[in-house]
Amino acid sequence: MLPPRVNVFLVVGGRYHDMDFARLELLKLLGEHERIRTRVAEDYRDLDAILAADLLVTYTVDVVPDESSAARLRDWVASGRRWLALHGTNSILKWSKQHKAWGATRSSPVFMDTIGSQFLAHPPIAPYRVEVTRPDHPLVAGIEPFDADDELYLSELHPPFETLLHTRWTGDVPLFVDQDWRADEPRPVMYLKRIGDGEVLYLTLGHARGHYDMQPLMAEYPDVERGSWKTPAFYELLRRGLRWSARMTEA
């Protein structure tokens, strides 16, 4: 008898990132597994379809469900489901005229608490060292420390969760309302958060941007950015995360 089909709901959408690139790469990874069948959307509006899936995979920026839907998503995870959240899933930004900077809105507390963090800021994109916090954990076992040329996420954390990868960075980020990050402490890059009988796996890496993705702020972005998508370790983490989410591994 064949193993059971795995139904995945993939949400990819939002602003200022190359969503077409990320969507295609994630679909290719999901397509490596014959058992997996995937539905795709740009947001969380088809909540009934999401709740009918075996697992949820998200890569979004400034896309969140309303709080009643977020509560249902939390209950869905708590019932024993798994959610692989990537890159900007925890971001909601608004331009502050007062501060002349980007600020995070606190309009989705249930959603952010469920996924374990809310993005507040990042320094200019530059390579930074990703360290393995839990080398004994199957999701990261055998992964060597690597350099990520990516957005380094500085977030408001909603523990408890288990950090698997981290980095360290201190400084100021003047483009964001939350500017002061001079406390020298680990910054989670990948973590597991348990909700009831289920879990959320969050991986902050995965920045991608093309020439047209900053519209309407600018007509043409000067560079094509592929962030950690250029790094073999990132693809290995994605493959492990997808297998874990689909319960194709004991991790």
For residue 249, pLDDT over 80 is answered with no
| CA distance linking residue 107 with residue 111, whole number of Å | 9
Full domain range(s) for residue 216 = 6-245
Average pLDDT on 121-141 reads: 97
**How are beta strands 126-132 and 146-150 bridged, if at all?**
antiparallel
Q: Classify residue 72: in a domain, yes or no.
A: yes
Tell which wins on pLDDT, 24 or 250: 24
Please, which pLDDT band fits residue 2 given cuts at 50, 70 and 90?
Answer: confident
241 backbone dihedrals φ, ψ, rounded to 5°: -65, -40
Q: Classify residue 251: in a domain, yes or no.
A: no
Quote the number of domains for the chain. Answer: 1
Strand ranges (E), 35-153: 36-41, 55-61, 82-86, 93-96, 101-104, 117-121, 126-132, 146-150
Q: Classify residue 177: in a domain, yes or no.
A: yes
Q: What is the pLDDT of residues 151-178, one digit of tens each?
A: 999 999 999 999 999 999 999 999 999 9
Q: Classify residue 219: in a domain, yes or no.
A: yes
- The CATH number covering residue 22 comes to 3.40.50.880
Q: Classify residue 1: in a domain, yes or no.
A: no
Q: What is the pLDDT of residues 68-118, one digit of tens each?
A: 999 999 999 999 999 999 999 999 999 999 989 999 999 999 999 999 999
Q: Classify residue 133: in a domain, yes or no.
A: yes
Q: Classify residue 115: in a domain, yes or no.
A: yes
Average pLDDT of the residues of the chain:
96
pLDDT value, residue 200: 98
The DSSP letter of residue 16 is S
Q: What is the pLDDT of residues 39-75, one digit of tens each?
A: 999 999 999 999 999 999 999 999 999 999 999 999 9
The percent of residues in the chain predicted with pLDDT above 90, rounded, is 96
Q: Classify residue 250: in a domain, yes or no.
A: no
